Structure 1
Amino acid sequence: MKLQRIRVEQFRQFRQGLELDNLQPGINLIHGPNESGKSTLVRAIRAAFFERYRSKSAEDLAPWGDSSAAPTVEIVFEHKGQRWQLDKRFLKRHRCDLLIDGTSFSGEEAEEKLAELLGYQFPKKGASKEEHWGIPGLLWVEQGTGQDIEKSVLHAGGHLKSALNNLVGEVASSGGDEVIQAVEQQRQELLTATGKPRGDYLALANERETLKQQVSDLQARVTQYQVQVDRLGTLATEYEQANRERPWEVARASMKHAEARFQEIEALQEQQNRGKDSLKQLQQNLSLLQQNQAHWQSQSEQLDQRHKSYESARKQLEQQELASPDLEKSVASARTQYRFAEEALQRARLRDKRVQLQKDCARLNAELAKLIQSQEKARNIQESLSAARKQKQQNHIDPHALRQLRQDQRELDDLNIRIQTAATRVTWNLDAGHSLELDGERIEGQGDKLLLEPGVLDIPGMGNLGIQPGGDDLASLQRKLQRLKQSLSQQLAALAVGSLEAAEARHGRLQDAEVQIQRYDELLNSLAPSGREQLDAMRADLESELLARTAELETLAVTERADEDKGADTKPLSLVESELKQAEEQLAQAESKARSQETELLTARHACEAAHREWQRVQNELSSPERQQQIEVLNRDIAAVEKQRAELELSLKEREAKIEEARPELIRQDIERYRATAEHQEKAQQNRALELSEIRAKLEAWGAEGLEEQCNEQRAELEHVNRRYLELDRRAKALDLLLNLLKEKRQALTRRLQAPLQKHLDHYLSVLFPEANLEVDENLMPGKFSRGSELGQMAELSFGAREQMGLISRLAYADLLQEAGRPTLIILDDTLVHSDAERLDSMKRILFDAATRHQILLLTCHPEKWRDLGVEPRDLAALKLQSTAG
């Protein structure tokens, strides 16, 4: 299908009509700015094919505000060597005429002819919508919808399959679909989409399971009934035997016997504990007695030790007493030397103080002289500062007024220059002996004069000439000159100066005075930051301090002369301080030794006295008769206690052997074992009696229910339901198998259809993404996209990439339709606007390749991006102007 000419009239913004002819079989690039009518042209093509000519929903096709318009679209195209011409008018005088190589059709017949050709359908009522557009809806891309392809493929799916029916085969045809639908319908009566039972099949399955459970429950109850009968016989035998033997009473008798034996052992253990306590007390008494015995034995040895200690302490005391006189002499000598050193230090300090006072007096005299000099400088600077301030006051001038005066003077000078330029210059060169009069002034020889006002030139013997200079501009300049002169005079009078130069001179003197004031202020601040009063106060302080230092110096001089009369030494202060420190250290050492010797003497005297007292005490104790008697009594007590301990240890050993032989822990365990046995045997007999009663009652109830009869009836019902269930189960499985086989067959045939479509997709995709792959599903819908290690759905790509992939898919569909002999026309309204330069270049190659097989209408508002497409662009705005001019 190749469009040759399109004409629209009274269609939205095309009131006067627009004709687009000489359309090429390949790419037709139509460009224009926004709102130039590109989308309107596309809307006209879509309306010509999609909208019923009688449609009442076509009001939006008329020009805005024109209710009497009749939107008209005329399209001429060629298909398979035949010339088709469509004339369609909407709203007013609506009609539809179709001419095919001389054969005419009109009205709905013509519309159905077009729908059959292109593969779309008309709505039964209302405006045409996306679901009616079929194949044109897939290949004609509106502005901003290039990335959305899923719905277009879905709506064109039936037409695609119908157009390619010869490639699909019988199962994929409508007849094959009916078979699959019939099988699916019968399968759906028995199975859900996931293969689970439903309907009668599900009801029978549930009933079957219910009956199985009921039969199982009844069989379990019958089995349990038989088990309970057997249990009743066994339990009755055990109950009678236990009543005869009464094992719990035997266990209690054994427990009492074990308890009696355990009480006997506890009595032995109590005796053993008391014996151990007695043995412990005997051992404590024996230990105390032995300690006393050892103490008395050690006192004899201590007597010799005490005497030796006393002799040693006495000799130490004698040595300390001999050393005391020498140490006292050393302390007295050190104190004398320390006193002499202190007196020498005091004299040296007085000398140093006198020298320091002399230096202080000299420093104070120098500072006083410097301060007096600073006071003099400050007074001179203050006088200069006052003079500078007076000069500033005398030469004060307003800087704003001075700037205004300068500006007005510059304007006056500029105005004078302009006046001189605009004025009439009269020049003359008269011969000798001749003269003229200009405004009553005689002129002769050579010269010139500027005339700012009208003048009269008198020529003797001839009359006069009137000279009118400048014109209106000169008069205006003169008036402005007078105003400026008057303003300057007023400003000079206000500033009390005669000229601008005088004002500038005053301003210069003012600036000099300000600089001097700043410099004098800085000098004065450097001399007296707090003012001259500070200098006066500092001078008074210095004079007072100098007077005090002088008086103190005179007093020290009198004292120093008295020391010189006594013949005192004149050593330096540092040497005297060193001698004093040395004397102090020697005194401290002597006093320390004296104190240590005194302490040692007192310690030795005390130790000697204590050693003598201790030696005398021990000697008195050892020689007393009472002590001898106590030693004899102590020896007898020790012998008696040792005998009692031996007897008690033998008794404890024999009793411990009896206790260990009796094994009290085992007897305690026997008591617990017999007690638990009696309780368990008695409880077991009680449980047997209770269980016998329950089993008898349960068996009586089950016997009345007729469990075996109920079980047989439920088995018969289960067999009946199971036969019906197996019939439906076989039918469901057969239908499921048949449906799977049919679908597998259709999928295999569908893959045969996908192969050529995949081939065309790969052809275009290799240009844009060399390593990528785009798969289509059984509904011919592009879906899974892979590129290298990346794997995902096409819908997950970026907006620009989805737009590019959408166009590639549409071109592949067009190639497939062309192979099936169906007409193809591709319309792209402002597409690929989200593509970068590199991707757009690849898409141009793809479009140029597709244009060798299909006609493409490419409308854009960016013609500069398509300059290298290899086709001649057509300016829609220029076409509109041509149509209007025609």
Structure 2
Amino acid sequence: MKLTRLYINQFQQFRTPLDVTGLEAGLNLFVGPNESGKSTLVRAIRAAFFERHKTGSVTELQPWGDSSAGPEIQLEFDWQGSRWTLNKRFLQSKRCDLQGGGEHYRGDEADDRLAELLGYEFPGRGASKAEHWGIPGLLWVEQGAVQEMREPVGHAGEHLQAALSRNLSEALGDVASTGGDALIARVEQERGKLLTATGRSTGELKQAEQESARLAAEQDRLDSQVDEYRELVDRLGELQRQQREIDAARPWEAQQARAEKARQALDAVQAQQQRQAQERSELDACRRSQQLYRQQLQDMEDQARQLARREEEKARAQQQREQHRANDGGIRQRLEDAKADYARAEEALASARQHARRQALQAEQERLREQSSRLGATLADARRLRDTLQQLSEQHQAIRIDDEALRQLQRTEDEREKLGIQQQALATRLAYRLEDGQQLMLGDQPLSGEGEKELLAAAELRIPGVGTLTVTPGGSDVAELSRRQQRHAADRDALLHELGAASLADAGARARKADELNRRMERERAELKGLAPQGLDALESEQRLAEQRQKQLADELTQLSDAPRAAAPLDEAQAQAALANAGEQLKAAEHAEQAHRQALGLAQQALATAEAEWQSLHDELNAPDRQQRQQQARDALTDLHAQDERLQASLERRQSEIEAANPELLEQDLERFTRAAEAQLQQARGREREVHDLQIRLDTQGAQGLDEQRDDARRQQQQIQRRRDELSRRAEALDLLLTRLKQQRQTVTRRLQAPLQKHLGRYLKLLFPGAELTVDEDLKPEALIRDGTGGEERGSLEALSFGAREQMGLITRLAYADLLKEAGRPTLIILDDALVHCDRARREQMKRILFDAARRHQVLLFTCHPENWQDLGVAPREMQALKTAGSTADMLAPQAGGDAPRPGVTARHE
């Protein structure tokens, strides 16, 4: 099979037609960067074959954002000596036409005939999937999928088996024949009734095993129930014996009596402990009272000594007060002197500031005179620039050109000239070479000698002595171009009239002059902005403010001149320093006076406090009842000491009695006897409940006939075991027969695989010399066997690196293609960005393999790495060149008509 032409329109990124022709019978290399349309071409080929034209689930084929488009694909291919043409359109105006070999199919018949030719299937509904693609799905590799082999081979398995069987049908024998397949299928069917594919039981055998297991479990359950019944009878007898021997004596009552006796003894001891705690509290209170009376007597003895100390403190306080009073006059005089010095410093500073103010005002007045003069000059320049800008703006307004209208005029003129070029390209060229003395008449123009004329409209060529020829050039195309040119000329004239220009050049000159005026205005504005950043009004206002400030300064200086002046005023800094120094002296004097007042007040307060404390203590020592209170304290202390001895002796006696009774042991006896009574009572009640429950359960189970049920279950289990053993033997026999048949079938299958192994070896020796690739009975690649450093290495394809799996996937597909070609099946190999993970050495070997395969098959190779395939032996087709050629053809095509391209106008790159 050889694909010769591919035409697509309104397909994904190709909104306009793209026509690829002149495809070679061998290698065809398409190159371009990502998103250049390579995968779109592959998708178009797949859609042409794999998708039914009526399906509505292929909206992704439409150009992005255009839901009204109808994707269209046209293919031409050679097969078995005939040229076939396929035209298919999706979604809008759906159609499918297939012609070739004297056959013509339409609609669904065309889709079905395509699937029959190439060996694939269509889905029942919806978009096509990988499981339907058959042989093309194996040989047409999508981007990034060349390493995936098992699923594509599985989907094409029937077609591969059919190709091999056709070649070896005479040597297969009965096992590989249809009768052999029927026998294996029948054995598998019978075995499948008893065993699953993994050898597990199923069907009747599984039911027999499950029933046998159920009956065995039932028998075990009944055995367990019989054993349980006997255990319950024994347990009931034991419980009844314990009731007679233990519970009848009511042993818990004796434990309850012992617990009551222990409680009474414990209550007596606890009463002793309460009285002991009361006496201990009384002893603590007695000792606190003794401490208080001792402290009271000690305080009375200390008061006499404290009176002498108070007398000394009072004398010291009086002496300090007199000392402070003696310093009072000097401190007051120092403060008055400091205040006078500070007042004189303030007057000196005011005089100095007035002198400094007069000098500052005079300096500012001089500065304002200069500023006013400068502002006047700047204002005059700014007014001159404002007037100039006004004149320039009026000139610019008179000649300015609208930029958008000028661009529209330029586009219109360019389009008119382009139409003129197209008109010249489509014009009929009349070349003539006349003999000397001969003359023709082209309309009213005589022609003689040698030359060439371009005819854009119909013209009459008169040949003397012969007649008149009417020449009509280009048909409707030239006429349409002429009308379009006239429309553009009218549009140009209208735009010129609107702009008030005589021509495009005149309009351009006015635009340039307007731009020059605009730039000059910008310069003038910048200069005016430099002179008056805030505007001309702000500048005038600034000048007025400067003049007003001058007047204010003059008035203030007049007032300062009228004020009396001090003779030889100090410098303001010196006056400020003198004032600061006077202020420090005044502050020190004030602080000294304040400290003196505070110290005098404290001395007076200390004296008053000392006198009050001395008087209070003196009155206390001379109080008339002091002796009586002291004696009462001594008597109370004696009574409390006697009470302390009595309480201490009583506490020692009670402690001895409590220790002898041992209350902790009594508490343990009470807890032990109480728990023993409760435990014995609970055991008796528990035995009573268990006896009652056992009697009910034994009555219930005795009525079920457990022994009879167990015997029936044993008979049923024996019957189902015999049936299970019979079915198991049959399953083993069928499994053995199927194994023997498949072994024989595998022997024949190896002969069946020999042609495929031959083709695999052809390519494998170029990539891995001495290696072997095994395939299973479904013709799927299985393991790679090759020599390693430690001997023979065997590994699955999945264990290889990603790049190696890509290489093995490609050579396996080429081997399948050789096999299919020998069987007379169509082969076309499409590789979309394959072998991108090859190293340089392996890529060189893969190029040899591809070049060899291209001698037998057509190969379409798409890549975004053209530098890797420069030495493939074929000129690459650049996607951008194809697009450019397609765009040129579309531009030169008629504006109205069918969807098909004009004959001869194609994106050709050969």
TM-score range, shorter chain: 0.5 to 0.7
Q: How far apart in 1 are the matches of 2:523 and 2:218?
A: 124
**Contact persistence 2:797–2:805 (CA under 8 A):** no
**Contact persistence 1:276–1:652 (CA under 8 A):** no
Q: How far apart in 2 are the matches of 1:846 and 1:575?
A: 106
1:671–1:281 Cα change, 3 Å:
same
Q: Give the letter for the 1:719 counterpart.
A: Q
**Contact persistence 1:303–1:619 (CA under 8 A):** yes
Instruction: Within 5 Å, give how 1:667-682 maps onto structure 2.
Output: 667-682=669-684
Match for 1:846 among 815, 831, 849?
A: 849
SS of the equivalent of 1:669 reads: helix
Q: Which residue of 1 aligns with 2:82?
A: 44
Q: How far apart in 2 are the matches of 1:194 and 1:383?
A: 106
Shift of the alpha carbon at 1:266? 2.0
- Cα deviation, 1:607-660, whole Å, max 9, x if unaligned, reads 420342244144225983313431332232222221232233123312421442
1:195–1:378 Cα change, 3 Å:
closer
Q: How far apart in 1 are the matches of 2:353 and 2:29?
A: 111
1:233 aligns with 2:237: yes
Shift of the alpha carbon at 1:242? 4.1
Shift of the alpha carbon at 1:399? 7.4
Q: Which residue of 1 aligns with 2:562?
A: 554
**Contact persistence 1:31–1:860 (CA under 8 A):** yes
- Cα deviation, 1:197-230, whole Å, max 9, x if unaligned, reads 3444334334433432343333334333433443
Q: How far apart in 2 are the matches of 1:767 and 1:209?
A: 61
1:45–1:172 Cα change, 3 Å:
farther
Shift of the alpha carbon at 1:541? 4.3
Q: Which residue of 2 aligns with 1:11?
A: none
Q: Which residue of 2 aligns with 1:310?
A: 311
SS of the equivalent of 2:711 reads: helix
1:604 aligns with 2:606: yes
1:39–1:282 Cα change, 3 Å:
same
Instruction: Within 5 Å, give how 1:474-485 maps onto structure 2.
Output: none
Match for 2:249 among 230, 246, 249?
A: 246
Q: Which residue of 1 aligns with 2:295?
A: 294
Q: Give the letter for the 2:244 counterpart.
A: E
Q: How far apart in 2 are the matches of 1:168 and 1:160?
A: 11
1:178–1:209 Cα change, 3 Å:
same
Q: How far apart in 1 are the matches of 2:797 and 2:688?
A: 76
Q: Give the letter for the 2:849 counterpart.
A: I
Q: Give the letter for the 1:776 counterpart.
A: V
- Cα deviation, 1:361-411, whole Å, max 9, x if unaligned, reads 52355256446756875897799899x789969x987874799xxxxxxxx
- Cα deviation, 1:246-292, whole Å, max 9, x if unaligned, reads 33xx3133213312431332233133223312321332132123222
Q: How far apart in 2 are the matches of 1:760 and 1:304?
A: 134
Match for 1:146 among 140, 148, 158?
A: 140
1:814–1:287 Cα change, 3 Å:
same
Q: Give the letter for the 1:581 counterpart.
A: G
Q: Which residue of 1 aligns with 2:219?
A: 215
**Contact persistence 2:136–2:828 (CA under 8 A):** yes
1:699–1:540 Cα change, 3 Å:
closer
In structure 1, runs of 5+ residues without a counterpart are: 4-26, 48-58, 64-70, 73-88, 92-122, 135-139, 404-490, 492-507, 816-822, 872-879, 881-886
1:39–1:750 Cα change, 3 Å:
same
- Cα deviation, 1:397-440, whole Å, max 9, x if unaligned, reads 7874799xxxxxxxxxxxxxxxxxxxxxxxxxxxxxxxxxxxxx
Q: Which residue of 1 aligns with 2:643?
A: 641
Q: Which residue of 2 aligns with 1:9?
A: none
Q: Which residue of 2 aligns with 1:349?
A: 349
SS of the equivalent of 1:197 reads: coil
SS of the equivalent of 2:778 reads: coil
Q: Which residue of 2 aligns with 1:204?
A: 208
Q: How far apart in 1 are the matches of 2:535 and 2:116?
A: 100
Shift of the alpha carbon at 1:570? 13
Q: Give the letter for the 2:563 counterpart.
A: T
Shift of the alpha carbon at 1:45? 8.4
How many pairs align? 645
1:350–1:848 Cα change, 3 Å:
closer
- Cα deviation, 1:123-159, whole Å, max 9, x if unaligned, reads 9xx969649979xxxxx97799534654444224145
**Contact persistence 2:382–2:536 (CA under 8 A):** no
Shift of the alpha carbon at 1:599? 3.0
Instruction: Within 5 Å, give how 1:369-408 maps onto structure 2.
Output: 369-370=369-370, 373=373, 400=398
Q: How far apart in 2 are the matches of 1:397 and 1:353?
A: 61
Shift of the alpha carbon at 1:700? 4.7
Q: Which residue of 2 aligns with 1:469?
A: none
What's the TM-score once normalised by structure 1's chain length? 0.59
1:157 aligns with 2:151: no
- Structure of greater Rg: 1
1:544–1:722 Cα change, 3 Å:
closer
1:697 aligns with 2:735: no
Shift of the alpha carbon at 1:331? 1.4
Q: Which residue of 2 aligns with 1:330?
A: 330
Q: How far apart in 1 are the matches of 2:870 and 2:388?
A: 83
**Contact persistence 2:763–2:811 (CA under 8 A):** no
Q: How far apart in 2 are the matches of 1:237 and 1:401?
A: 135
Q: How far apart in 2 are the matches of 1:709 and 1:587?
A: 131
Q: How far apart in 2 are the matches of 1:689 and 1:221?
A: 19
1:716 aligns with 2:718: no
Shift of the alpha carbon at 1:751? 5.1
Q: How far apart in 1 are the matches of 2:716 and 2:540?
A: 135
Q: Give the letter for the 1:542 counterpart.
A: Q
Shift of the alpha carbon at 1:594? 0.8
**Contact persistence 2:29–2:860 (CA under 8 A):** yes
Instruction: Within 5 Å, give how 1:766-781 maps onto structure 2.
Output: 767=766, 775-781=774-780
1:266 aligns with 2:272: no
In structure 2, runs of 5+ residues without a counterpart are: 2-23, 31-44, 46-72, 86-95, 121-133, 142-151, 402-499, 501-515, 787-793, 876-903, 905-910
**Contact persistence 2:352–2:571 (CA under 8 A):** no
SS of the equivalent of 1:39 reads: strand
**Contact persistence 2:76–2:83 (CA under 8 A):** no
Q: Give the letter for the 1:548 counterpart.
A: E
Shift of the alpha carbon at 1:666? 0.6
Q: Give the letter for the 1:246 counterpart.
A: A
1:272–1:380 Cα change, 3 Å:
closer
Q: How far apart in 2 are the matches of 1:391 and 1:684?
A: 122
1:809 aligns with 2:808: no
Q: Which residue of 2 aligns with 1:586?
A: 588
Q: How far apart in 1 are the matches of 2:847 and 2:749?
A: 32
1:291–1:763 Cα change, 3 Å:
farther
Match for 2:547 among 516, 519, 539?
A: 539
Shift of the alpha carbon at 1:778? 1.4
**Contact persistence 2:193–2:203 (CA under 8 A):** yes
Q: Which residue of 2 aligns with 1:281?
A: 282
Shift of the alpha carbon at 1:536? 5.0
- Cα deviation, 1:422-462, whole Å, max 9, x if unaligned, reads xxxxxxxxxxxxxxxxxxxxxxxxxxxxxxxxxxxxxxxxx
SS of the equivalent of 1:856 reads: coil
SS of the equivalent of 1:687 reads: helix
**Contact persistence 2:97–2:104 (CA under 8 A):** no
Q: How far apart in 2 are the matches of 1:809 and 1:571?
A: 110
SS of the equivalent of 1:217 reads: helix
**Percent of pairs with identical residues:** 21
Q: Which residue of 1 aligns with 2:256?
A: 255
Instruction: Within 5 Å, give how 1:319-468 maps onto structure 2.
Output: 319-326=320-327, 328-363=328-363, 365-367=365-367, 369-370=369-370, 373=373, 400=398
Shift of the alpha carbon at 1:586? 3.1
Q: How far apart in 1 are the matches of 2:624 and 2:555?
A: 92
- Aligned CA RMSD, in angstroms, stands at 5.7
Q: How far apart in 1 are the matches of 2:536 and 2:99?
A: 99
Q: Which residue of 2 aligns with 1:652?
A: 654
